């Protein structure tokens, strides 16, 4: 079965060819006799998705974490401080140079608004590079010198109004419980209770395109601040959370996202940096005016936040990517249900391959980004039946996910405790 699926995946050049492969639920190990509703859901997932049924195959014999890690080349774990400092300096220099040139040559006039909007897209895209560098520091993937690593990560993230230590903690939970329905963190899907959900009802009135466009805007534009301030799409096990205030009312009994005095202290340390950065922005606005600061910093930052949400959403969500209950979840299952996608050489360079080598990053988050491609090739070679790569162009995948991935339901017929999108 695994070899047949591999041959099918190799033949695919686009999601539209899945239908020609004639995959069906029975080929994936599903017993759907008499359950036409489940059959239809699975067939739609196979038709719409881009993974060739790999993620929905039942009864896989999963390797252990140590077995997977043993296939990662040892040199992939070696951190080179000088090399990473060069990447950090290059990312910061690109942002600063872009800002300087636009401040110097684009007039602050209404006629120049189109140029400023173009600048916001370019600068926000460049700004995601330092964001990823800070992300690597938070994972201890930057260097072995802990003081330097913390300094670089704290500065990079604080400059982008990210609460460094708070996010470091919640992101560690995300990695520890990827695709876990109750204890996962970030982009945990809504659990549908009953035969339908509000988005399905809305689509019947407005059309599927309206639902997709609405969800795309709300996720990309509002998703990051909603998560930081209210824990939206966070795991239900932790209740309502706030990355800036770890005390009441943001707790959930004994299971807190920021448990103990040490984590709470680090949240407050993050706040110190944010207060300093905010004060600097206010002073800057006092000197030059509100709109120049918004044009040069505020709107590009919104674009950076959009990129952040887009990456994480597409890495862990699609119509044919399941989630798991606590009885059937494992670390390896979660890591291998991360999806790599084709972002192209330019974005891979600017964003340090955050979207095209993310499976390897979840298997071992201390691998430096410049060695993640080699680690990815090793995973593809040794675990082809588990590694997930979707060749769907990113903009098409985003539209599909926005349109179709609204809620999941547990499938009682699943041998593996899968929750799949309705």
Q: What is the per-residue pLDDT across 121-169, written as a single tens digit (0 to 9) for each?
A: 999 999 999 999 999 999 999 999 999 999 999 999 999 999 999 999 9
With beta carbons less than 8 A apart as the criterion, state whether 76 and 367 touch. yes
Is a pLDDT exceeding 50 seen at residue 13? no
What is the share, in percent, of the chain residues with pLDDT greater than 70? Answer: 94
Beta-carbon contacts of 341 under 8 Å, excluding residues fewer than 6 positions away, are 314, 315, 355, 356, 389, 390, 392, 394, 397
Name the pLDDT band for 22 (thresholds 50, 70, 90).
low
Lowest mean pLDDT among 9-23, 100-114, 163-177: 9-23
- 409 located within any domain: no
Q: Which element (helix H / strand E) includes 198?
A: helix 198-206
Residue 412 has pLDDT above 50, yes or no: yes
- Tell me: pLDDT of 362 over 60: yes
Across 279-307, average pLDDT:
97
For 192-243, how does the pLDDT look when each residue is reduced to its tens digit (9 = 90+)?
A: 988 788 898 888 999 999 999 999 999 999 999 999 999 999 988 888 899 9
Least confidently predicted of 79-93, 241-255, 307-321, 360-374: 241-255
Residue, of 253 and 88, whose pLDDT is higher: 88
| Mean pLDDT score across all residues of the chain | 92
Count of CB atoms situated within 10 Å of the CB of 327: 7
Q: Report if residue 385 sits inside a domain.
A: no
Mean pLDDT, residues 236-251 taken together? 89
396: confidence class by pLDDT, cuts 50, 70, 90: very high
Which pLDDT value is given to residue 7? 46
The contacts found for 254-258 with CB under 8 angstroms, 24 or more apart, are: 257/169, 257/170, 257/173, 257/185, 257/231, 258/166, 258/169
pLDDT at 415: 84
**pLDDT beyond 60 at 6:** no
Decide if 406 is inside a domain.
no
User: Looking at residue 19, what is its pLDDT?
Assistant: 39
- Would you say residue 390 lies in a domain? no
Q: Give the phi and the psi of residue 389 in degrees, each rounded to 5.
A: -135, 125
Is the pLDDT score of 266 beyond 80?
A: yes
Tell me what pLDDT residue 108 has.
Answer: 94
pLDDT band at 378 (very low <50, low <70, confident <90, very high): very high
Instruction: Evaluate whether residue 235 is within a structural domain.
Output: yes
Q: Provide, rounded to the nearest whole percent, the portion of the chain with pLDDT above 90.
A: 79
For residue 139, the model assigns a pLDDT of 97
Distances (CA, A) of 392 to 6, 316, 341, 396: 17, 15, 7, 7
Residue-level pLDDT at 194: 80
At 253 the pLDDT is 64
Asked, for residue 277, whether it belongs to a domain, the answer is yes
Q: How many domains are there within the chain?
A: 1
Is the pLDDT assigned to residue 16 strictly greater than 70? no
Q: What's the pLDDT score for residue 10?
A: 45
List CB contacts of 411: < 8 A, sequence separation 6 or more.
38, 418, 419, 420
Q: Residues 277, 280, 285, 288: is their CA dihedral positive or negative?
A: negative
Stated length of the chain: 422
Residue 141 lies in a domain: no
Mean per-residue pLDDT, 108-112: 95
Would residue 301 count as lying in a domain? Answer: yes
Statement: residue 252 has pLDDT above 80: no
Residue range(s) defining the domain that contains residue 284: 161-185+192-325
Helix (H) or strand (E) holding 408, with range, is strand 408-410
């Amino acid at each position: 079965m695994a070899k047949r699926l591999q041959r099918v995946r190799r033949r695919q050049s686009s999601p539209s060819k899945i239908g020609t492969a004639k995959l069906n639920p029975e080929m994936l190990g599903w017993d759907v006799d008499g359950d036409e509703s489940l059959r239809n859901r699975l067939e739609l997932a196979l038709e719409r998705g881009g993974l060739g049924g790999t993620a929905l195959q039942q009864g896989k014999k999963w390797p252990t974490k140590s077995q997977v890690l043993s296939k990662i080349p040892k040199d992939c774990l070696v951190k080179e401080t000088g090399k990473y400092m060069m990447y950090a300096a290059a990312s910061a220099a690109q942002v600063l140079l872009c800002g300087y040139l636009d401040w110097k040559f684009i007039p602050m006039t209404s006629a120049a608004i189109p140029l400023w909007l173009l600048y916001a897209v370019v600068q926000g895209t460049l700004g995601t590079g330092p964001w990823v560098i800070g992300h690597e520091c938070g994972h201890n993937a930057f260097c072995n010198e802990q003081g330097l690593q913390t300094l670089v990560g704290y500065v990079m993230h604080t400059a982008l109004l990210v609460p460094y230590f708070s996010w470091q903690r919640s992101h560690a939970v995300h990695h520890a419980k990827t695709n876990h329905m109750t204890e996962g963190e970030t982009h945990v899907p809504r659990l549908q209770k009953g035969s339908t959900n509000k988005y399905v009802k809305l689509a019947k009135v407005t059309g599927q395109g309206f639902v997709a466009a609405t969800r795309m805007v709300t996720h990309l534009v509002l998703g990051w601040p909603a998560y930081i301030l209210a824990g939206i799409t966070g795991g239900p096990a932790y209740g309502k959370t706030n990355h800036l205030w770890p005390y009441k009312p943001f707790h959930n009994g004994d299971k807190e996202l920021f448990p103990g005095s040490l984590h709470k202290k680090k949240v407050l340390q993050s706040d110190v940096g944010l207060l300093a950065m905010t004060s600097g922005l206010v002073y800057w606005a006092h000197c030059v005016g509100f709109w120049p600061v918004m044009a040069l910093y505020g709107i590009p930052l919104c674009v950076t936040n959009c990129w952040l949400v887009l990456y994480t959403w597409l890495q862990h969500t699609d119509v044919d990517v399941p989630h798991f209950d606590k009885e059937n979840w494992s670390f390896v299952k979660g890591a291998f249900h991360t999806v790599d996608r084709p972002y192209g050489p330019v974005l891979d360079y600017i964003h340090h391959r955050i979207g095209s080598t993310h499976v390897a990053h979840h298997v071992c988050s201390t691998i430096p980004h410049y060695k993640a491609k080699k680690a990815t090739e090793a995973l593809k070679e040794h675990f082809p039946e588990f590694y997930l790569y979707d060749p769907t162009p990113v903009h098409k995948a985003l539209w599909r996910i926005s349109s179709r991935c609204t809620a999941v339901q547990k499938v009682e017929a699943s041998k593996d405790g899968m929750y799949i999108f309705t």
